Amino acid sequence: MDQPLAISDSGTEGEKLPAYTNHDGFLLPVGFPTSSFDSALTYEAQDNGELHSSTKLKELSVPLISLAHLFIVTYPKCGTTWTQHITYLILHDGVPLAADQRMDVVWPHLEEVGSEFVREKATIAGGYRLIKTHFPHKYTPKNPNAKYIYVSRNPKDCVVSFYHHTVGFPRHYDFAEGKFDTYFNLFLRGKVDSNDYFEFLREWLDHKDDPNVLFLRYEKGRQDTREYILQIASFLDASIYPQRLLADDEKILKLVMEHSSLDSMKQNPRRWCSDRTGFKPFIRKGSTGGWDELLSEEQAALLQKRLDEMFSKEELDFLGDQYH
């Protein structure tokens, strides 16, 4: 049964909370249809033969053997849009999303729009049906022939970015005047949309070595974007995309790097989201390690405590310095 998040979940009576839809224990932004969420749970990342029967594929004359599902999977505010656009650029020879295109149409958000929309309208590029999800692993449609690009980001930067996101979409969260400390307490306890960050990361980290999963770390991508792009290219098809990017003195690779830069992505921002007039832009900083603009040392220590409880030292080392 759907219900608003109770005030008692915040800890302080009368404190302004973000608005969510509580759909059987999973928190969604207000306005996300619960029917779409339910249909997303039934979506099947079908094998090629089933997919080839669709009208859209027949019109495009896509060869049966070349089609697969490509999922970009993240906890919110962990590099989703940046990685989507990089992947889109690789699949389109460095040509960026046009000013009048929308990423949420080209690469639909499964649990927001539902399975029928994805089946009928998701873009097919490079032999892939493009799908975005913020589902934990247990809810994500599975198929050994599908490919999954997962992006992690440290919780300190994530919570700050997620707070700005929540403030910036009043129609979904009604939190334009909300305080960071309030939001932090909810995030720490998994009382925000997509629920618990730490459990989400735990589930996907357990599958980082699956042959059809590319587990990326946002911080490393920011440190070495060239390598991040080439990792994605090799994952898409090691026999095609790396060579294509590197040909002609790395012509296409340079285009991918140019158009996926923050300065470039800040242009024509409606490509990435709905209107945010009066609020911080959707593409804000994209930085790493800038969490201390809002996060206190005590709050950082609480996040670190959760990390230390749920992950081994070796796992935190793998994730990167920002997880220590």
Task: Pull the structure tokens for residue 102.
Answer: 């929308």
Catalytic residue flag (residue 134): yes
198 neighbors 155 (Cβ within 8 angstroms): yes
Residue 239's identity, in one-letter code, is S
226, two tokens: 């060239």
Distance CA 87, CA 230 (A): 10
Residue of 109, 134, 137, 172 with catalytic role: 134
Q: Report the C-alpha gap between 123 and 317 in whole angstroms.
A: 37
Give the whole-angstrom CA distance, residue 280 versus residue 294. Answer: 15
Among residues 168, 166, 291, 169, the alpha carbon closest in space to that of 219 is found at 291
**Contact residues for 128 (Cβ-Cβ < 8 A; gap 6+):** 67, 68, 69, 70, 91, 147, 236
The pairing of strands 213-217 and 26-29 is unpaired
Q: Are strands 147-152 and 213-217 parallel, antiparallel or unpaired?
A: parallel
Non-local (6+) Cβ contacts of 282 within 8 A are 81, 165, 168, 269, 272, 273, 276
Q: Please enumerate in sequence order all residues whose Cβ is within 8 A of that of 90, keeping only pairs 6 or more positions apart, or say none.
A: 229, 232, 233, 236, 241, 245, 256
Q: Which of 290, 273, 283, 279 is nearest to 160 (CA)?
A: 290
Residue numbers annotated as active site: 134
